Structure 1
Amino acid sequence: MDKEDLELKEELAQFTPLALACLDGFIEIAQCMIHKNPRLVCIVNENGHLPVLLAATRGKKEMTRFLYSVTPSEELAPEKGPNGATLVSTCIVKQMLDVALDILEKHPRLAISSGKDNFTPIYVLAQMPKLFPSGGSLWFWQRWIYYCTNVRLRRAHDQIPTYIGENSSQQSRQSDNIIVNVLNQLHGMVSHLLDFLGIKNMHAKKLRNRQAIKLLKCISCTIKNLKVEQLDESLVYQAIIQAVKHGIVEFITEIIDSNPDLLASEDFSKRNIFLTAILHRQEKIFGLLHRLDNLRRIQMISHVDMFENNMLHLAGMLAPPRQLDGISGAALQMQRELQWFKEVESVVPQTFKDVMNKDGKKPCDLFTEQHASLMKDGEKWMKEIANSSTFVAALIVTIMFAAAFTIPGGTNEKTGMPNFLQNPLFMLFITSDAISLFSATTSVLMFLGIMTSQYAESKFLTRLPTKLIIGLSTLFFSIAAMMISFSAALAIWLNDPSTKYVILPLILLASIPVSLFALLLFPLLVEIFISTYGPGIFDRRIERWY
């Protein structure tokens, strides 16, 4: 086959053989074709897409890196059309940040150039919160692994696999080598171990974060000296608003640091970045307000949108479902909404409480109107938990009260004292019985208080959650103490060498209810406690930003 034959296109979508190989990720075939005809990488299909863009769109990372390494750099320049900007945007979405970064370092203006979908890479990056450290929360042990992990940024060319030629035959010869096979097995075992411990995931996350930050710095250098018209055409203002909606605090600080005038960015409703942050419940962005100087902070706080809504009006609006879905239960969602309203209320002047918007509504009226349904759902959620928990707690009270007068081993006929009074297991039995009884009684009273409580808005902030915390905590203690009491009674009754092998399995079985309760309700109990008495979600550090 002549090299010109490889340039022939099929009729339907005008794909060359190389383009078809790109779609399926056949790297060896692609290498053979390009080795025979290097011009193939520059031939577009009917939509004007280069082969490297086709591979990136399909998410074929190795194929994309290979094709990028053999595609002439000038083919991706802004002057050659939208292929370069589209490729950068696609690589950002598919998380091939090494390729995107390499392209922008060669052609910086691609960051603000429109692709085939009319979006610029900076706009696309602003909608990818998972690429940045602020885009996800980690457990304490994951944070420790994250900060201890060392990553090295690699260029796209360093990750290109080689499949053909002499190297391929050499790999074939090595596959028969026992030592190589053993080393490969060990490498696989270590890889699986790192994956199991979460180290591999944390390394990938940190590498992704580092690449995204470097990509952001590269973009910020490009927009540093742009005029207002250029910023608007490049969708920079819209990108900032999108970053606020997604809570990408690194994006906001880096871009505004490069061009301070962007602090005044507004959306189509004339809402600045802080009004938008309140509306979309992005506490990290809202926290930047405390880091502004007095003049800028007053300017941002005094701003109203086109409907004459101030900050407190927007705090009174119902949060987007995406933000509420991450909170367990309607009552805790209502609590979070109240926390937002109180936080914004502490920032704005007192006069803002009585200011009306275009619809003639005060912030508190707007809050009540938009949260009426959520408050009803919160009341229903609290009563359902209280009702089911009351039944369990009342049952425990009945059982433990009866057990207190059904003493294992009986009593002495003359003195009336328990026969096993001197046995440490008996003291464990009676103590745990009393603790279980008192805890269950307290739990019943707390849940009855929840069912008969007045469900006003303010009650959801601390009073109702506190009652629920006490009720669930005492219920947990009562179940645990009941199982300890039961195990102690078994140990007293079966205190014989012939039955010693039966005691341990029975005690282990007795721990199952406690474990099930812990798995089912303990996470909810912890979430309620942290939400009510934790450090809070708002950052008030007085660290000057602007």
Structure 2
Amino acid sequence: MKKAYILAKRYEWEEFGKFFRENKELLDKEIDLHKSTAFHYAAHSGRPSMYKEMLEMVDDPIGIQHVLRLQDDMGNTPLHEVAFVGEVEMTDHILKYNDDDESEQFEPLLFMKNNLGETPVYRAAALGKTKLLQHFVCVLNIDLSPHFHRNDSMSILHTAVIDQFFGTALWLLKTYGDQLADLEDDNGLTTLQLLATMPSTFRSQTQMGAFKNFIYPSKSLPTSIHLEFQQQALLPKYQDYQFYQDEEPIKRREDLESGEKGINQWSHPYQGNHSAFFWLWYSMWKAMAKEWKGIEKLWRKKEMHKLAEELVRLLAEKDKSWQQTSIATDRTVSMGKKKDQASEKQEEKSKDQQKHAEKPAYTPLLMAACNGILEIVEVIIRFHPQSIEHVSDDEQNILYMAVKHRQLEVYRLLKKLKMVRRLAGKIDKLGNTVLHYTAEFQGGHQPGYALQLQEELHWFERIEKRLPYHYTIHYNKEDNKTAKQLFQEKHNDLLREARNWIKETAQSCSAVAVLVATVVFAAAYTVPGGTDDNGLPRFLHHPIFLVFTIMDVVSLASSLASVVMFLSILTSPCEMWDFRSSLPRKLMAGFACLFFSMATTMMSFSATVLINIKLEKNKWTSTLTYSAAFFPVSIFAMMQFPLYVAMRGCLRSTLKRLKKITPRYIRNLLKRSKRKKIWDI
């Protein structure tokens, strides 16, 4: 069977069929090490006529029933392989033999399971073959209920969601929603809870570059066509893998093996009347997607996001899990307890029990809040506004989840709904306020330890402002500490790293600033062009000489200012709360002065060159000179740009302080006349 194996791997299906026409006795023999037969391989050929011909080569009625039930080492029959490809016509050819009289003594083909307990129908759903599923249900009138589960209790809907075939999942949910929506897997997760653990399938948790963020949304389109593009500006509506079409079967098999699908192979996704501008816009993006893989990937990603959002909308509407809430017991503020040896041992035992205790089962709303999936949180609150006050078994609410896992957008949503103060006025089972959960360092998003610590301090301060004042002096049960004490203890390692990082950075930058100051100071006494007999510069009244003088003075002043800033950092004690605003503000000012001094130094250098070689009248040469001079400055700016972006929080805090000292009547004049509705999510 070596020749048949090689022909199949080369996709030479004409020769493959010819080989078995000449060797019919080998049709039920194993071709490879995985016990696959000719019918397993022929399922991937994309040629229903050849498959039908191979089936007709088996003359014995009992023999054909036996051949169609041969399983490979994974337990897959030829029908399982056909379901893998999604071939409707091949499926009909196989199932035609399932109705013969001889098949009554065998197990029905549609109910044969592989090693995972998957029937061919289940396998078709797991691989996103929606057309084949529709054929099973609508044409063959097959009841999908017996195919809902496999051996590990994973439902057909769970599998489609895990494999991210959201188009198939939508069809299943719309067809069998009442039976599938509330099913749970082995971990006790419903489909909505499963989606709440998949943040990468939603836009709010997908990191993109500046260009992708620019072309992804459709809100910037003209108003007249905004509604038409709002849901499908770049994507086909409910487009999924089953809608891919190929002109050549061999090409489809190659794409299937490599996992690639070209956007030029998509069937036309729109039915209905649309404007001419719409068709032009769609055609433009389709043409660009053919040429640039990045646009095609973004298109596919946005398609996945839209399908996932639609799936969430259907599931959230039927979700009732939020109704099963615990009672948040009212607890008074604790001022701490004195410890003796017996109580310490008892506390250690209780801590060990808590560590080994099972985590409470959270609702989809709380799980989505943990992972920052704003789409799920918003939809559930829109359908069920009361769910925002749901309390878990450990007496924690949605605010606890957002604070514990540093989900700023979820917190902002709660703040917009005016619910933060209400939700913050609770103490959970362990005696922790919501402020205690800011102590757990989850890893920062900013570059540099100092800026990560600043981010943590901002987060602590943000929550502290919304907490009832007397809760800040509350001692928890587990550690017998206030939130601030626990925060400082848990962030000691980060503080140590932040000190080292900011001092090393300040020391390196101050050395560079001193070097720049030395150069520009020496340049002030080396006049370009020399002096005359009276000691005056020869180009005193030349415009470029004026540029040189101003830039040299500004560069010297900026470099010395940056030296002062960096020295103030080096001499600072670097206490934890200094990283809140003081130290980052000094670092930002030092960077800004250093960058400005380097830029003005290069401008004075360019002016000197132009004076000495007298090229001021040649515009092209002057432009090239300035461009060459600013090349190192540009590199410095690009390398330090992430730090400038990260320190924009310092600028925001400065603006907030200015806002506080601004009279109220002026602030009211600057506010918008129309405010958004609070609960209009």
Pair 1:418 & 2:530 matched:
no
Question: In the aligned structure 2, how far is the partner of 1:268 from the partner of 1:384?
Answer: 47
Pair 1:251 & 2:376 matched:
yes
For 1:171, the equivalent position in structure 2 comes to: none
Letter paired with 2:91: I
SS of equivalent to 1:154: coil
2:74 to 13, 16, 26: 13
For 1:33, the equivalent position in structure 2 comes to: 90
- 1:195-344 equivalence runs, <5 A: 198=295, 200=296, 203-224=299-320, 228=324, 237-260=362-385, 262-267=387-392, 269-292=394-417, 299-315=422-438, 317-321=439-443, 324=444, 326-344=445-463
Letter paired with 1:68: L
Question: In the aligned structure 2, how far is the partner of 1:383 from the partner of 1:497?
Answer: 44
Larger Rg: 2
Distance of aligned partners of 1:210 and 1:496 in 2 relative to their CA distance in 1, 3 Å threshold: closer
1:278 to partner: Cα distance: 0.7
1:188 to partner: Cα distance: 8.2
Which structure has more helix as a fraction of its residues? 1
Pair 1:428 & 2:512 matched:
no
Distance of aligned partners of 1:505 and 1:457 in 2 relative to their CA distance in 1, 3 Å threshold: same
For 1:82, the equivalent position in structure 2 comes to: 149
Question: In the aligned structure 2, how far is the partner of 1:156 from the partner of 1:378?
Answer: 48
1:42 to partner: Cα distance: 5.2
1:494 to partner: Cα distance: 1.7
Distance of aligned partners of 1:433 and 1:227 in 2 relative to their CA distance in 1, 3 Å threshold: closer
Q: Check conservation: 1:237, 1:266, Cα contact below 8 A.
A: no
Structure number with the bigger relative contact order (C-alpha 8 A, sep ≥ 6) is 1
SS of equivalent to 1:37: helix
Question: In the aligned structure 1, how far is the partner of 2:110 from the partner of 2:537?
Answer: 92
1:380 to partner: Cα distance: 1.3
Residue by residue over 1:73-99, the C-alpha shift from the partner in whole angstroms, topping out at 9 and shown as x without a partner, is 787845644259633233333332111
Distance of aligned partners of 1:478 and 1:164 in 2 relative to their CA distance in 1, 3 Å threshold: closer
Question: In the aligned structure 1, how far is the partner of 2:620 from the partner of 2:316?
Answer: 71
Question: In the aligned structure 1, how far is the partner of 2:137 from the partner of 2:647?
Answer: 57
Letter paired with 2:316: S
SS of equivalent to 2:605: helix
Residue by residue over 1:288-324, the C-alpha shift from the partner in whole angstroms, topping out at 9 and shown as x without a partner, is 433456xx76652222222100112122x12323xx1
Structure 2 segments unaligned to the other structure (5+ residues)? 1-54, 59-63, 99-108, 222-228, 253-283, 326-359, 657-674
Letter paired with 1:10: Q
Letter paired with 1:82: H
For 1:161, the equivalent position in structure 2 comes to: 245
Q: Check conservation: 2:565, 2:589, Cα contact below 8 A.
A: yes
Letter paired with 2:678: E
Q: Name the TM-score, length of structure 1 as normaliser.
A: 0.81
1:125 to 195, 198, 202: 195
Question: In the aligned structure 2, how far is the partner of 1:212 from the partner of 1:495?
Answer: 66
For 1:351, the equivalent position in structure 2 comes to: 470
Distance of aligned partners of 1:6 and 1:495 in 2 relative to their CA distance in 1, 3 Å threshold: farther
Question: In the aligned structure 2, how far is the partner of 1:37 from the partner of 1:52?
Answer: 14
Residue by residue over 1:388-407, the C-alpha shift from the partner in whole angstroms, topping out at 9 and shown as x without a partner, is 11111111000111011111
1:273 to partner: Cα distance: 1.4
Distance of aligned partners of 1:82 and 1:406 in 2 relative to their CA distance in 1, 3 Å threshold: same
Question: In the aligned structure 1, how far is the partner of 2:451 from the partner of 2:143?
Answer: 50
Question: In the aligned structure 2, how far is the partner of 1:504 from the partner of 1:297?
Answer: 57
- Identity percentage of aligned residues: 28
Moved more, 445-454 or 121-130: 121-130
Pair 1:397 & 2:517 matched:
yes
Structure 1 segments unaligned to the other structure (5+ residues)? 169-185, 230-234
1:346 to partner: Cα distance: 1.0
For 1:134, the equivalent position in structure 2 comes to: 204
Distance of aligned partners of 1:329 and 1:267 in 2 relative to their CA distance in 1, 3 Å threshold: farther
Q: Check conservation: 2:204, 2:372, Cα contact below 8 A.
A: yes
Distance of aligned partners of 1:257 and 1:79 in 2 relative to their CA distance in 1, 3 Å threshold: farther
For 1:368, the equivalent position in structure 2 comes to: 488
For 2:181, the equivalent position in structure 1 comes to: 111
Q: Name the TM-score, length of structure 2 as normaliser.
A: 0.66
Residue by residue over 1:493-521, the C-alpha shift from the partner in whole angstroms, topping out at 9 and shown as x without a partner, is 22269999876655433222111101100
SS of equivalent to 1:476: helix
1:228 to partner: Cα distance: 3.9
SS of equivalent to 2:532: coil
